[in-house]
Structure 1
Amino acid sequence: MLNTVVLIYISVETVIHSWNAVCPLVAKLKRFYEFSLRLENALRSLLEALTSPPYAPMQHLEREQALAKQFAEILHFTLSFDELKMTNPAIQNDFSYYRRTISRNRLNNQQLEAENEVNNEMANRMSLFYAEATPMLKTLSNATTKFVSENKTLPIEDTTDCLSTMACVCRVMLETPEYRCRFTNTDTMLFCMRVMVGVIILYDHVHPVGAFAKTSKIDMKGCIKVLKEQPSNSVEGLLNALRYTTRHLNDDSTSKQIRALLQ
């Protein structure tokens, strides 16, 4: 009897300890999810500002450099967040534990204080968000696609040209020794690479034939080559993003050379 009581006590203590540990993590996951919604709105506003007539994409990027910098900052954060998420599978395990506990308590007509912060509806939305391999990038891809579909009077080329121009600028900065030597540290170079990969993925999601086709305005061979020249530990996440979050890599129109570069 005493052994049974001790085991029950230990079990209850373990559950309480686990619950107290997971609740702050879930609250943090909620803040990141809500931040993704803010990023979605911010991105659409930036795209509107950087693609509106009468200026061409390059003119916009030259005239509104502060906005272009904000766009780049969003992409840098997005790729950074998703890289961390992909290397932390415990995120989904912890959130699954949280949802199971809430469901179990609801069946027992109990409500925990933490449920007031993340109710069932919010938990469902968060679950779909974190189920994505790259949730922030998925949010931005959807936002870009939605922006194009909702602005039918705006030629799609205005959006894709803006993205391809940014990709070209990043590639040239990375592959040209004269520009590359101005990077003060590896963080600056990584920033440039993340922005380049981010706009490539957005381009691939909204352009009818994608970034990998021969008619693409993005030099994909050059972009991939620049990435592969860097230490593998610093670019593997970016290469994986190109492998697994683009839409057209496996299309018949994608050359065997490009596919081989990403293998």
Structure 2
Amino acid sequence: MGNSNGIMNESPIPLYYQIYVDLKNKLLINKLVDENGKLPAEKELAESYKVSRVTMRQAIAELEKDGLIVRYRGRGSFLKSQPNPILHKLGLPGQAGRVRIDKSPEIVELSHFDTTYEHIGRALNYEGDIFFIKRIFRVDCNPVAINRIWIPAVFTPELDKKGLCVEGSLSKTLKDVYHLKIDRRKNVIEAVRPSVSDIELLKITYDTLILQITSKSFLKDNVPYEYSVTSWIGDAIRLEVDVEDIEHGITFLK
């Protein structure tokens, strides 16, 4: 049996997690907080959901872990920042639609390997040494995505020594230093479960849904030069794709 907030006592999903999801959804549509961004008191919320304060405390702790709220002793819990998801326009080169992401993503790894995974080599139609970059995208200092990139060393010699030397930007470094300009990008989108590494770096739980975008970038002569996998926290991003519905299928507009 459930209560007025849609919480199911008989569900195998823990009560605190059901409440956390419901509270988060309300924050995403600008409900729950007052004009000062303050959430109702813990006791008031516990009574509303008909659960103990211990259970409610667990739910609120998850919101804090997500970076949605901040708690002050003696003052209560406040919305930390506008939790609206990032709007990313697929099919457009560069960083269009990512204006809310903090500048200079954290570089977790920049390595040079003699060989790469077989499926990446096939995707890039390439055999040889390759560079691997792993970065974390953040919004208001909170992690929202992990970006993994593979670039054949033939396109970017000494990238591991030079680093992302143009304003800490990969796209600007590729363009200004290596004269690589993207002509088009092919994206594949799928919902996946986070890896152990994702859980640790994004500070999420094992049951968080990940929206994974696998991309292959091409130069003007149709040569693939970059393979990337970006793992977004599912509710941190919304994708926008322009399409034209025609008689024999769907054509993506650029």
More strand by share: 2
More helix by share: 1
Instruction: Please report the TM-score for the alignment, with normalisation by the length of structure 1.
Output: 0.28
Relative contact order (C-alpha < 8 Å, sep 6+): which is higher? 1
